């Protein structure tokens, strides 16, 4: 069943009676989610002396030959393990672009790790409205961007992109060079007066041999371990410290608040049919913008009927995912032999300028498309035709900022996640597609195919628990603690006041390092006295 607006959707009902757990676990800090936000947080707090438990609803993604088997990954969906979500307006189900593994979405991301531009943190006028300022500046986050780039082994080059914000240090690794077809594209863009640059990337692919091992790693795992994902870079080193425990196959279903609603006492979780009560002094939520908001909504009580941390009424609101288009340019007479294509970016129209009154967005490359990937979207098309197209294509991903709207959001109905999303700011996106079409044709690719992504393409989701100074207009403080709760922080992209028009991963990691520093500076992670009743989870890694 669909609803006309998110305001018509029913609120989650508080549980009829308390749940009796099969086991009680006690820790100092409980981190819910092991992706870019949760994993980075565990890494940053690993030497604090506190006992830290990372709770992950999935388990470790196996390293296996199927990681690079395109039929397994794309046609059979071997690694897609998310529940069905629903379009709130139509009631139609869809499989979202989220993944539940140790390391979260980073297990399959393309490791594109740009910084947001300095203007993204400021109030910016767009064609369809205003992108709000963040409660902290680019300068505030810059030292943490530097640390995140070092942690995630980012390859990049300062000075090639005119919109690149100031860096206090150079990138830790040189930028990945273009392969011949992409170099030709960059040269053509440059001759047209544009400013292509080598995109910041967290992939160890600086030799032809390594690139061959990474050729299918955008949207798929990397069996060779050459991708800087959160499992490899943050979770495993955190576990090695001895202060961090990982609990897998454990889904947190609700948070239990104190009678006054100001403190989280425990998280209730399901593990192999068992109910586990996890008690902690501090809770850090990093389950992804949709799932973090859904958890707060599911944790409604008679005293807090709209869910926890929701006195503002904004939990689940302001959902953003970018306006995005898959763009394919084909030269029928030229084979593209590129292995790793995600080395080029273009931001000439990212900000307003002489030729564009409003910001248009970003160009980056997709991983090299193959016939199996196209088959997933065009199942009716013959494989030989799809192979002929993909062998001769350059493949581009275009993004334009999606502005926050209160009516765009998520809700939980009968335990299921419903998403309301009506795209906005589409005029600038269409203009971006138009300008890139012209530039790509001039570069020698006369045949153009484009497809704008819909509600199911949500790997860049953000904004469902925005940070701000005013508790009436935001869910979190500038340090990402819930205004309403004294011991809950959210460090995934829920806190984003705006979506910008770039990949969110590095900004999530940098912010997690910033929030961790604020906790360490105030002694918030100091360990508590453990009792004899404390027990360890039955499924854990150290």
Which residue segments constitute the domains of the chain, with CATH numbers given? 6-12+25-541 (3.50.50.60)
Q: Are residues 33 and 104 in contact, defined by beta-carbon separation less than 8 angstroms?
A: yes
Residues 6+ apart with CB under 8 A from 235: 34, 39, 42, 43, 54, 102, 103, 246
Q: Exposed (0-12), middle (13-18) or buried (19+): which is 117, by Cβ within 10 Å? A: buried
The DSSP string of 98-116 is: ---BTTGGGGTS--B-PPP
- Tokens coding 496: 């984003």
pTM (2 d.p.): 0.95
3-state secondary structure of 252: strand
Along the 542 residues of the chain, how does pLDDT read in single tens digits?
A: 678 899 999 988 888 777 899 999 999 999 999 999 999 999 999 999 999 999 999 999 999 999 999 889 988 999 999 999 999 999 999 999 999 999 999 999 999 999 999 999 999 999 999 999 999 999 999 999 999 999 999 999 999 999 999 999 999 999 999 999 999 999 999 999 999 999 999 999 999 999 999 999 999 999 999 999 999 999 999 999 999 999 999 999 999 999 888 999 999 999 999 999 999 999 999 999 999 999 999 999 988 999 999 999 999 999 999 999 999 999 999 999 999 999 999 999 999 999 999 999 999 999 998 877 787 777 777 888 888 889 999 999 999 999 999 999 999 999 999 999 999 999 999 999 999 999 999 999 999 999 999 999 998 999 999 999 999 999 999 999 999 999 999 999 999 999 999 999 999 999 999 999 999 998 766 654 333 233 344 445 54
> Three-class SS of residue 134?
coil
Ramachandran angles phi, psi of 540, nearest 5°:
-150, 160
Beta bridge partners of 268: 254, 277
């Amino acid at each position: 069943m669909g609803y006309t607006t998110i305001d018509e959707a029913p609120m989650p009902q508080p549980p009829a009676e308390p749940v009796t757990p099969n086991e009680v676990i006690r820790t100092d800090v409980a981190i819910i989610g092991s992706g870019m936000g949760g994993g980075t947080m565990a890494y940053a707090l690993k030497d604090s002396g506190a006992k830290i438990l990372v709770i992950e609803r999935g388990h470790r993604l196996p390293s296996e030959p199927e990681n690079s088997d395109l039929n397994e990954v794309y046609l059979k969906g071997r690694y897609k393990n998310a529940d069905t979500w629903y379009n709130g307006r139509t009631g139609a189900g869809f499989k979202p672009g989220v993944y539940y593994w140790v390391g979260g979405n980073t297990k399959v991301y393309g490791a594109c790790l740009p910084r947001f531009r300095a203007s993204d943190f400021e109030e910016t006028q767009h064609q369809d409205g205003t992108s709000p300022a963040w409660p902290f500046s680019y300068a505030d986050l810059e030292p943490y961007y530097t640390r995140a780039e070092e942690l995630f082994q980012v390859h990049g080059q300062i000075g090639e992109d005119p919109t690149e914000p100031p860096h206090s240090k150079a990138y830790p690794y040189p930028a990945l060079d273009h392969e011949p077809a992409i170099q030709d594209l960059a040269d053509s863009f440059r001759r047209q007066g544009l400013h292509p640059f080598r995109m910041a990337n967290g992939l160890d692919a600086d030799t032809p041999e390594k690139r061959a091992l990474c050729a299918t790693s955008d949207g798929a795992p990397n069996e060779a371990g050459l991708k800087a994902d959160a499992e490899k870079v943050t979770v495993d080193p955190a576990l090695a410290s001895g202060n961090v425990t990982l609990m897998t196959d454990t889904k947190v279903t609700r948070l239990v608040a104190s009678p006054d609603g100001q403190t989280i006492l425990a998280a209730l979780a399901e593990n192999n049919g068992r109910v586990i009560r996890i008690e902690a002094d501090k809770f850090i939520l990093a389950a992804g913008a949709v799932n973090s908001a859904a958890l707060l909504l599911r944790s409604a009580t008679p005293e807090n009927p709209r869910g926890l941390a929701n006195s503002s009424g904004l939990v689940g609101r302001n959902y953003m995912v970018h306006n995005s288009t898959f763009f394919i340019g084909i030269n029928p007479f030229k084979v593209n032999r590129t292995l790793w294509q995600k080395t080029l970016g273009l931001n000439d129209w990212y900000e307003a300028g002489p030729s564009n009154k409003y910001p248009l967005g970003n160009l980056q490359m997709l991983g090299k498309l193959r016939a199996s990937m196209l088959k997933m979207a065009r199942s009716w098309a013959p494989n030989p035709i799809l192979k002929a197209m993909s062998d001769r294509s350059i493949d581009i991903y275009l993004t334009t900022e999606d502005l926050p709207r209160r009516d765009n959001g998520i809700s939980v109905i009968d335990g299921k996640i419903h998403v309301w999303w009506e795209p906005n700011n589409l005029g600038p996106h269409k203009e971006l597609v138009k300008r890139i079409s012209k530039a790509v044709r001039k570069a020698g690719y006369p045949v153009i195919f484009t497809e704008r992504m819909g509600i199911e393409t949500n790997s860049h989701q953000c904004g469902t628990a925005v940070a701000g100074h005013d508790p009436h207009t935001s869910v979190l403080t500038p340090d990402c603690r819930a205004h309403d709760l004294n011991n809950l922080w959210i460090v995934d992209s829920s806190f984003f006041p705006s979506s910008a028009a770039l990949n969110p991963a590095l900004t999530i990691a940098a912010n997690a390092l910033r929030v961790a520093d604020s906790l360490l500076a105030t002694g918030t992670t100091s360990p508590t006295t453990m009792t004899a009743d404390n027990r360890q989870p039955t499924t854990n890694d150290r």
